[in-house]
Amino acid sequence: MAERLRGRRLWVSGGRGFIGRRVAALAAQAGAQIVLFPGDVREGVADHITASAPDLLIHLAAPVNVARDPSLTEEMQSVIVGGARAVRAGADSLARPAQLVLVGTCEEYGTIAAPFHEDDAPSAPVSPYAAAKLQATREALSARRSHRLVVARPFLTYGPGQVSRQLVPAAVRAAVRGERFAMTRGLQTREFNFVDDVARGLLAAATTPAANGLVVNIGGGEERPIIDLVRRIFTIAGADPGLIDAGALPDRPGEIPRFYADTERARRVLGHRPRVGLDDGLARTIAAEERDEG
């Protein structure tokens, strides 16, 4: 990775976000020159790319909200679809072809049976966020372009600094604070990927010419029931597992029972596979929360 990044100029949108921060940090450690887009991807992004003249681009900026709320449609279409169009226009303007990684989402697959393979036909999107991401992917793959393009679909990601109401940070906070954790029965299975592994996958996609024109899943975490994951968090944190109140919350309507990736393409084309095991990643995440709490 260092050999492929050293001395290259990498343009990143969403570089101050949870995954984007690690992308930028790991690329800088490898010797890349990082250019972070500072604003709204609907305004001035193409000009910023032209002025930056990058060798590589990773477009991460997007509002992440998977609620099945039709009122979110306008925002998602504007930022996700409109932003992707603007980034592609900027990449097309470059004098030298650059490789663009358009970061999609595992939510694009919808409710089809797992494991999800890149060539699977998705179901109808279940949220405005998923619909916008899928539209951005389809437009990008079908458009004529002068740049090289990879669509990367990260699967569920966790790690230090994830300030959200998502499962892992919520469970980690409860375990560290010794608080009751109300949850569903947790019988559905998911895979969880440490943020550094996802960031490495995106950088591999940006620096692998053979990935041009492909959709690539970035994942590979072990599939496990949600309840097992939460129990593991409380065990590693040294918290009382009796604080886990499984079944206190109802299962969400339309819950997908199994949700994990087929990652053969990432291994074969990118040479990418996760390095951080779940216990190690959870321990790092818990330690960071303990420092913040301290």
- Give residue 101's pLDDT: 98
**Does residue 163 have a pLDDT over 90?**
no
In a domain, 108, yes or no: yes
Place of tokens 């593991």: 232
In a domain, 235, yes or no: no
**Does residue 41 have a pLDDT over 90?**
yes
pTM over 0.75: yes
Average pLDDT, the chain: 96
In a domain, 172, yes or no: no
3-state secondary structure of 288: helix
CA distances from 281 to 188, 233, 287 (A): 21, 10, 10
**Does residue 289 have a pLDDT over 90?**
yes
In a domain, 176, yes or no: no
- Give residue 146's pLDDT: 86
In a domain, 243, yes or no: no
In a domain, 88, yes or no: yes
Confidence of residue 14 (pLDDT cuts 50, 70, 90): very high
Q: What are the contacts of 23-31 at 24+ separation with CB within 8 A?
A: 23/58, 23/60, 23/199, 23/202, 23/203, 25/199, 26/196, 26/199, 26/200, 26/203, 27/203, 30/1, 30/2, 30/5, 30/6, 30/203, 31/2, 31/5, 31/6, 31/7
Is residue 9 within 8 Å of 52, Cβ to Cβ?
A: yes
- Give residue 293's pLDDT: 87
CATH number at residue 140: 3.40.50.720
Of 259, 151, 137, 154, give the one whose Cα is nearest residue 196: 154
Is residue 161 within 8 Å of 222, Cβ to Cβ?
A: no
In a domain, 283, yes or no: no
Higher pLDDT, 91 or 254: 91
Over residues 123-150, the mean pLDDT reads 95
**Does residue 61 have a pLDDT over 90?**
yes
Distance CA 56, CA 294 (A): 39
Number of domains making up the chain: 1
Structural domain span for residue 26 = 2-158+192-221+261-275
Tell me the per-residue pLDDT of 101-112, one tens digit each, with 9 for 90 and over. 999 999 999 999
Of 192, 196, 216, give the one whose Cα is nearest residue 206: 216
3-state secondary structure of 160: coil
Of 220, 216, 163, 215, give the one whose Cα is nearest residue 192: 220
DSSP, res 96: S
**Does residue 96 have a pLDDT over 90?**
yes
In a domain, 266, yes or no: yes
Going edge to edge, which strands form the sheet with 9-13?
33-36, 9-13, 56-59, 99-103, 148-154, 215-218
Tell me the per-residue pLDDT of 233-264, one tens digit each, with 9 for 90 and over. 999 999 999 999 999 999 988 789 999 999 99
Over residues 36-53, the mean pLDDT reads 95
